[in-house]
């Protein structure tokens, strides 16, 4: 047996002892200890932790939100669809009637390709789109993964509690929770939500997850919102504008870029002691 199989068997015997005890926290600690002891590689550690944390994830944690969905109205021509597929790089496009809250189908790139071949009978978007698969955004991603497999579906439309569209989720979003980002040939690399900057500061996007920020020592966990942008809007009672700053949990957060609806980026710096938030800004 070589060294690597030795270390793996040590880890697996630790894990299996803990599995018998059915204790997730201990299991997580065993993975972290094994990583600190060099028994598992960093990628293995994040995959094992991903599997463990997978149990606590819901569709709304993982989906692409409604505002970022590339969708098309049902009256569009197939040329319009082809143009959107090329522009967005996505191979499945939700189709709506009147508003994005009324998704009536999904059009697949591979279903429109034959329509552009010579001699193919002209078809409308309504004729080639497929039935959408709707799921509540509160569904566990673990259950959804099973449903994707049994239904042979790769995309679902997530609904909010009022039946409106909350977002979309694909099998890739679910699998990425375990294996990390999968960039395909057409993906434009997405900006990292948390980027280390100078002197212990960070640049955050408004989407940076509150749970991930606790790992930096900024604890703002909240039942109402998941992202730092959402938290600051709730805290301020309005969408903060460029230059506004907040002192929270020993950190200074300055809005670098925002529009009327969204915070795009934030500078997170360790707060210098004694500094107070500007009264008109918090
Ligand atoms: P594709 O290769 O067609 O983009 P994937 O399943 O690989 O589809 O998904 C890659 C990412 O793109 C996922 O985060 C998914 O939520 C997102 N995505 C897929 N289709 C759309 C769409 N029509 N609009 C916006 N985002 C989408």
CA 142 from centre of chain? 15
Residue 96, CA distances (Å) to 69, 81, 165 in order: 11, 12, 10
Co-location of 119 and 214 in the same domain: no
Q: 273 vs 171, which has greater pLDDT?
A: 171
Share above pLDDT 90 across residues of the chain, in percent, rounded to a whole number:
59
In a domain, 275, yes or no: no
Q: Residues 63-90: what's their mean pLDDT?
A: 95
What's the structural domain count of the chain? 3
pLDDT at 271: 87
Is residue 152 predicted with pLDDT exceeding 80?
A: yes
Q: What confidence category does residue 148 fall into, taking pLDDT thresholds of 50, 70 and 90?
A: very high
**Which of 50, 121, 116, 126 lies closest to 83, judged by CA?**
116
143 within domain boundaries: yes
* pLDDT for res 15: 62
pLDDT digits (tens, 9 = 90+) for 191-211: 689 999 988 899 999 999 998
Residues 147 and 65 in one domain: yes
Q: Output the CA 72–ligand 1 centroid distance in Å.
A: 14
Least trusted range by pLDDT, from 26-40, 96-110, 246-260: 26-40
Three-state secondary-structure class, residue 53: helix
- pLDDT single digits (tens) 225-249: 889 999 999 999 999 999 999 999 9
pLDDT at position 281: 43
Cα–Cα distance between 247 and 259 in angstroms, integer?
21
Q: Which protein residue has the closest C-alpha to ligand 1 atom 2?
A: 90
- Return the pLDDT at 13: 63
One domain, residues 111 and 73: yes
Model confidence over 92-144: pLDDT tens digits? Answer: 999 999 999 999 999 999 999 988 887 777 889 999 999 999 999 999 999 99
Q: What is the pLDDT of residue 282?
A: 40
Q: Output the pLDDT for position 22.
A: 59
Residue 88 to residue 69: CA distance in whole angstroms? 10
| Residue 282 placed within a domain | no
Q: How many CB atoms sit inside 10 A of residue 170's CB?
A: 19
- Closest residue CA from atom 8 of ligand 1: 90
Domain CATH code at residue 258: 3.30.465.10
Cα dist. 242→19, 178, 192 in Å? 49, 35, 20
Residue from 66, 239, 252, 88 nearest 165 by CA = 66
Domain shared by 157 and 210, yes or no: no
What's the token pair of residue 103? Answer: 């998704």
- Same domain for 263 and 213: yes
Name the residue range of residue 88's domain. Answer: 61-179
SS3 114: helix
25: Cα separation from own chain's centroid: 24
pLDDT at 81 over 70: yes
Residue 170 alpha carbon to ligand 1 centre in Å? 7
Q: Which residue, judged by its Cα, is nearest atom 15 of ligand 1?
A: 170
What three-state secondary structure class fits 154?
coil
The reported pTM is 0.70
| Count of alpha carbons within 13 angstroms of residue 279, beta-carbon side | 0
Does 189 fall in a domain?
A: no
What per-residue confidence (pLDDT) applies to 71?
Answer: 98
Contact by Cβ (8 Å): 114, 26: no
Q: How confident is the prediction for the chain on average, in pLDDT?
A: 86
Evaluate if residue 276 carries a pLDDT over 70: no
d(CA 157, CA 133): 6
**Does residue 276 belong to any structural domain of this protein?**
no
Verify whether ligand 1 is closer than 6 Å to residue 248 (CB atom): no
- Cβ(92) – ligand 1 distance below 6 Å: yes
Q: What is residue 11's predicted lDDT score, i.e. its pLDDT?
A: 61
Kindly give the distance from the C-alpha atom of residue 217 to the centroid of ligand 1, in angstroms, as a whole number. 32
Q: What is the pLDDT of residue 238?
A: 93
Q: Which two tokens stand for residue 164?
A: 């409106």
Cα of 108 from ligand 1 centre, angstroms: 12
Is 186 a domain residue? no
Give the model's confidence band at 34: pLDDT under 50 very low, under 70 low, under 90 confident, else very high.
confident
Q: What CATH number has the domain bearing residue 152?
A: 3.10.580.10
Ligand 1 contacts CB of residue 53 (under 6 A):
no
Q: Which atom of ligand 1 is nearest to the CA of 155?
A: 6
Taking 50 as the threshold, does the pLDDT of residue 1 lie above it?
Answer: no
């Amino acid at each position: 047996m070589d060294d690597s199989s030795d270390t793996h068997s040590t880890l697996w015997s630790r894990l299996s002892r803990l599995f018998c005890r059915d204790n997730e926290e201990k299991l997580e600690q065993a993975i972290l200890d094994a990583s600190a002891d060099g028994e598992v590689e960093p990628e293995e550690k994040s995959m094992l932790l991903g599997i463990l944390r997978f149990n606590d994830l819901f569709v709304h944690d993982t989906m692409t939100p409604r505002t970022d969905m590339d969708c098309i109205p049902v009256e569009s021509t197939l040329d319009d669809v082809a143009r959107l597929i090329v522009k967005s790089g996505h191979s499945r496009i939700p189709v709506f009637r009147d508003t994005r809250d009324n998704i009536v189908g999904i059009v697949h790139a591979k279903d429109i390709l034959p329509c552009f071949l010579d001699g193919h009978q002209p078809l409308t978007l309504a004729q080639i789109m497929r039935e959408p698969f709707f799921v509540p955004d509160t569904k566990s991603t673990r259950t959804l993964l099973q449903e994707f497999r049994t239904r042979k579906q790769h995309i679902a439309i997530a609904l909010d509690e009022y039946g409106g569209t909350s977002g979309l989720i694909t099998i890739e979003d679910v699998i990425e929770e375990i294996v990390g980002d999968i960039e395909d040939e057409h993906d434009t690399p997405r900006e990292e939500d948390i980027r280390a900057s100078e002197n212990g500061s960070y640049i955050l996007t408004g989407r940076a997850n509150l749970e991930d920020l606790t790992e930096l020592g900024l604890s703002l966990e909240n039942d109402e919102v998941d992202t730092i942008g959402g938290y600051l809007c709730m805290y301020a009672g309005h969408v903060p504008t460029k230059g506004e700053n907040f002192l929270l949990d020993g950190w200074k957060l300055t809005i670098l870029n925002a529009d009327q609806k969204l915070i795009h980026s934030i500078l997170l710096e360790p707060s210098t002691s004694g500094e107070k938030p500007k009264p008109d800004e918090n």
